[in-house]
């Protein structure tokens, strides 16, 4: 895995005492083809979103550590027929819309390209995020904390964001993107409002 962002915070994380790291554990989800480290056992929520009548399932995994919230959302885009570059660009755009962008850079995990972002919202919430697309799924990793707690929590937030890895074999796309579909409006929170849990 090649992730080169946030080197100073990563060094600070490595310099922390081992006991501060003891609660972190990697959680693997073979059905969603990813693994990520959480500071506590994550809560799982599944929902169905319906942009323009097309079903998009979302699996969300989240946990908290103090004032920080850690979340990964996995959107199954097989039915939407949206290509990776379009999905990543639109999710990154939605994240940028949260506030003042401090970082927006290309990132790579196991040969899958995406974006790493850091955004400060108008209410002072800081978000460290990553967006990737693999096997017809969009992965949105977000760690959020109030600005007042960001310095103390930034190493944990970066640890979470950088811990994403993919499991299972990559597969080729079964079809090309439908030109009429890739221009659809994703709307709020990436794919509109949830229609069921």
Establish if 2 belongs to a structural domain.
Answer: no
Least confident stretch, 77-86, 116-125, 127-136: 77-86
- CATH number of the structural domain spanning residue 179: 3.40.1000.10
Establish if 167 belongs to a structural domain.
Answer: yes
Least confident stretch, 47-51, 79-83, 183-187: 183-187
pLDDT band (50, 70, 90) for residue 11: very low
Task: Over range 69-84, report the average pLDDT.
Answer: 91
H helices within the chain, ranges in order?
A: 7-14, 84-96, 147-162
Separation between Cα atoms, residue 70 and residue 180, nearest integer Å: 35
Domain count, the chain: 1
Establish if 1 belongs to a structural domain.
Answer: no
User: Residue 81 is part of which domain span?
Assistant: 7-17+25-196
Tokens of 162: 């950088």
Task: Over range 24-43, report the average pLDDT.
Answer: 97
Task: Over range 159-168, report the average pLDDT.
Answer: 97
The mean predicted confidence, pLDDT, of the chain is 82
Task: Over range 135-149, report the average pLDDT.
Answer: 96
Per-residue pLDDT at 56: 85
Predicted confidence (pLDDT) at residue 192 exceeds the cutoff of 80? no
Q: What distance, in Å, lies between the first and last C-alpha atoms of the chain?
A: 34
């Amino acid at each position: 895995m090649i992730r080169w962002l946030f080197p100073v915070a990563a060094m600070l994380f490595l310099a922390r005492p081992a006991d501060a790291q003891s609660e972190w554990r990697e959680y693997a989800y073979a059905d969603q083809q990813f693994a990520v480290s959480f500071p506590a056992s994550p809560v799982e929520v599944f929902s169905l979103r319906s942009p323009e009548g097309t079903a998009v399932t979302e699996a969300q995994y989240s946990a908290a550590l103090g004032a920080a919230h850690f979340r990964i959302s996995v959107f199954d885009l097989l039915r939407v027929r949206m290509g990776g570059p379009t999905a990543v660009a639109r999710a990154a755009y939605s994240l940028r819309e949260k506030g003042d962008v401090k970082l927006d850079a290309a990132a790579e995990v196991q040969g899958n390209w995406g974006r790493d972002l850091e955004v400060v919202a108008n209410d002072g919430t800081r978000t460290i995020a990553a967006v990737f697309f693999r096997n017809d799924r969009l992965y949105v990793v977000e760690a959020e904390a109030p600005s007042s707690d960001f310095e103390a929590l930034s190493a944990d937030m970066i640890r979470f964001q950088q811990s994403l890895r993919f499991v299972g074999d990559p597969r080729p796309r079964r079809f090309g993107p439908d030109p009429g579909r890739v221009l659809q409006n994703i709307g709020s929170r990436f794919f509109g409002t949830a229609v069921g849990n």
